[in-house]
């Protein structure tokens, strides 16, 4: 089951991406501080949850977010802005 949302603003484009229920559960249950991610199309195809930000920066082209912010988005709306 996939959830899709798109939202446009005046100054910039905010991407709402597709994630599966299992991905959402992995993020919510995580005790890690950062999520590094890779997006293709409108889907998150790869991600890593970690506390070591320097280890994965080059591998994911500096695409990361703070997990606590993502958890709030999932709990409030079951959607993620990246």
Q: What is the pLDDT of residues 6-62, one digit of tens each?
A: 343 333 445 677 778 888 899 999 999 999 998 888 788 889 999 999 998 888 888
Question: Please, are residues 77 and 2 in contact by the beta-carbon 8 Å criterion?
Answer: no
Q: Which two tokens stand for residue 52?
A: 């070591």
Output the pLDDT for position 14.
59
pLDDT band for 78, please (50, 70, 90 cuts).
low
- Classify residue 80 by burial, with Cβ atoms within 10 Å: 0-12, 13-18, 19+: buried
24-39 burial, b at 16+ Cβ within 10 Å, e below that, comes to beebeebeeebbbbee
Q: How far is CA 7 from the centre of its chain?
A: 16
């Amino acid at each position: 089951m996939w959830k899709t949302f798109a939202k446009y603003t005046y100054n910039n484009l905010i991407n709402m991406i597709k994630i599966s229920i299992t991905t959402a559960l992995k993020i919510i249950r995580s005790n890690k501080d950062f999520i590094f991610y890779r997006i293709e199309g409108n889907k998150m195809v790869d991600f890593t949850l970690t506390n070591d930000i320097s280890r994965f920066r080059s591998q994911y082209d500096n695409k990361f977010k703070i997990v606590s912010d993502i958890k709030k988005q999932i709990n409030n709306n079951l959607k993620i802005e990246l």
